[in-house]
Structure 1
Amino acid sequence: MKLALISLAKDDLDGQGPIALLPLFAGTLLDLQIQAAQRIGCEKFVFLCPATHGALLQKIDEMKQLGFDAEYVRSPSDLVQYASEQDHIVYLADGIIPNDEIIGQLGAAPQELLFTVLHAEEYQEFERIDLNQRWLGILSLNASRLVAMIDIPDEWEIGSALLRTAVQADCPRAIISDRRMGAGAVSHIQSALSAGQYTRRKLKEMPWGKDNFLNRFLLRPLIKRSLPRLWRKKAAPQYLQIFSLVAGLAAIGLATFGYAIAAIGLLFFGSVAQLARTTMLQFDGTAMGRDWTAMGLDLIVAASVAILMLQASDAVTLLPNLVIFALLLAHLLLLRGVSANCRFALIRPDLRLVLLVLLVAAIFGPISYGIYAAALYAGMTLVLDRYPAKKPTISKDRRGG
């Protein structure tokens, strides 16, 4: 069994408490380390903390309620009690976050590894092993070697003791190159300042994929700017979820009384809130199954627009309007099956873009005009996506003919 050892022995440079409890994203740095350990395949979690902290105890209680095996220790002698000789230890030092490549390496078959970097001035914060290498705070070690730590003094730092044990056992070393370090192979967070720098770097690297112009140039940049503030509220995803559903239900009421502009505006902002919630969960690494909130909001939008269309129709236009509305829904469903990397992704309509078209139509005229325009727009996008790309031809001169 793989056992994760995560250190909370060092305080941040500002003296506010353990580095691992620094706020980061929707939780703490410790949350990211736990997620990394889970991806490595660790089934048991032991937190190394010389002093008791309420936040750590609360985190351990939460993990136990979710079915995880989690404990904390204060000294090397306590550590030996939680690991058997058959276990394999993965140690993460204070403030250390490995990237996906190192996580994948640690997630393979258990092997002893000491992660190091060649000595250079920019790596002064890492502990030196010898004249040539420094330790990156990541260690994979057989638990049977903990026997050598039973008699060490309690005031010794467990991480340094593990390092000495690994070096004396001549464990293989995985040397991380300067290029990989520059690409973020190992992040070392020591203060609120470095935590903020890490957050900004991750936001900059956030993969958006191809998206339409509304999301790409307006909504996603605004969400990206808002994420650091949203992360300060742990319940922000729940608040966004509630807002999107309440806005949708309120829109149905407004549509029933004929307030088209207000109803569509609420639906638009509710959809933006849902997009922000989805982005937060994806960035935090939260596993998402089927998003029932998004599906519910889609149904609410369809119901609200249908009510507004019925109110804008008379006996003559009702049937044509229903047909066009059905075509619009069919087009949107078909567009969801189109790859995100399609050639015309920049103009591909989604729920928010369609609502914006309907909002403009409601401001300047009957909403039925907006439904016609949105259906035509979505249909043209489908046609363009299925139109075969023109293959480059090779002239006779270039072929040598």
Structure 2
Amino acid sequence: MPATPSRTKAEAVPSAERPAKQTEQRLPFIDALKAIGSQLIVLHHLAFYGPMSDYAHELAPTLIDWLYDYARIAVQMFLVVGGFLAARSLAPEGRLRTSTPLTLISRRYLKLVIPYLAAIGIAIVCAAIARTLMDHDSIPDAPRPLQFAAHALLLHGILDIDSLSAGVWYVAIDFQLFALLLGLLWLAQHLAGGRQQAQENSRSMLIGALLVVALASASLYFFNRDAGWDDWGLYFFGAYGLGVLTYWASGRPRALRWLAALAVLVVLALAVDFRSRIAVALAVALALGLARHTGGLENWPLRGLGGALAAYFGKISYSVFLLNFPVALLVNSLFSHMGVEDPALNACGMFLAWIACNIAGAVFFHLVENRTREWQDRLAQPFTAAARLLGR
């Protein structure tokens, strides 16, 4: 077990990717992916951070070992989905459709950080309670002012500062990836300038696609093979860029050929250095591409209660992620304080913690995340005004 939850880079956070009005329409297939992925992350955390899982391991060693080692690969699902939805909102035809990228950057930051900082506050309180009930290396230390400031600025990973909650490194990575994509699209737009509108649009799309392919390839063939880069978006841009390219490819004529070309690019990277996480990313990208090409993206066949549950759990997935570690920590500390060592009772405790994580996430979604847009609009006004001045 690690001393703090900060360095488990294979964990995941469901991406909160809806920066533009177009993406307000729910996509049932993506909701289903988010619902499955978020639950795998919760179960991974329950298996990874004890002590309940240590005792329950005796009852189901194979299952707990699988959750401990492999459920974390669900991060790839969210990376690919994040890139796919970012392309859908920023450049659905391949060309950046905004003239004020700084405004989008500020809105993205606020969209991620407002619920994230609220959850960090809850995590600090839960950790303080847990420290009074048990002594375990999964409990974060009491926060320092610099540590909290680094979290607020999304610099805790880059500065090698211990995290205040599990998996929050991904919030910073998500922001970096969004900024990288926006920067590439902005660069493509400016490199294509000085021509007639139709030529400029076509040239911008081509340059943007080539830039994304180049950076995704650099990630797949170099950055993602060196764990020393895992505090930077470059390490993850292979999967994220794959999602971006999948969105564009699946909307083009001869979409299946373009998707096959993307598959070849990734398969060659796997031949150079096989990584199961990249294989999973490819599988998710192909599923998304085929779903969009066939219409399954909007017309996911799951109906009735199953469809409603998938949609709801997909919608609250970011909140469930943000709250699952502190809630699970509290349940673990209560069982430890009561001296519960029976494997069956600890397995029940893990099940109760899983239910509690989802309930807490649902409450947090309705009280905090769902109101983010209201706060975001107010806080983003200074950034919007500055962007307009710079754009003149």
TM class, shorter-chain normalised?
under 0.3
TM-score normalised per structure 2 = 0.24
Which structure's CA Rg is the greater one?
Answer: 1
The structure carrying a bigger helix percent of its residues is: 2
TM-score, normalised relative to structure 1: 0.23
Q: Which has the higher contact order (CA 8 A, sep 6+)?
A: 2
Give the number of the structure whose residues are more often strand, by fraction: 1
